[in-house]
Amino acid sequence: MTEKTIDLDQHRGMAAQKATDLRRLLADVEANEKALRLRQDELEAQLVASPAANWPEAAEKARYLLNLFAASLAAHDPRRQKLIAAVLDDFERLARE
């Protein structure tokens, strides 16, 4: 028995190597998406757990929701994008005051 490992990818054709690389990449993306969903669920549970103690905390919750909406298809309307940007700017400005 040998201690040296054999890279089986080198013994396949280019199409098979590309298909293997794509499967591995897809598996990584799916794992990352699952981890992101879990973290997002944890964050949302914390945001719902208690009411905001002040306006900046309330603005953070609203900012999170606006960013979720901004990533949706419904928010691709340029007018909605401008409105979202204006509200986020308002939050920043008011938080500094």
The structure tokens listed for 21 are 């690389």
Within 10 angstroms of residue 59's Cβ, the number of other Cβ atoms is 19
Per-residue pLDDT at 82: 92
Per-residue pLDDT at 28: 95
Per-residue pLDDT at 97: 78
- Enumerate the domain spans of the chain: 1-49, 52-97
Chain segment 22-39, per-residue pLDDT in tens: 999 999 999 999 999 999
Per-residue pLDDT at 55: 86
Mean residue pLDDT across the chain: 88
Within 10 angstroms of residue 27's Cβ, the number of other Cβ atoms is 10
Task: Give the Cα separation of 45 and 73 in Å (integer).
Answer: 24
Consecutive H or E run containing 91: helix 78-96
Residues contacting 89, CB < 8 A, separation 6+? none
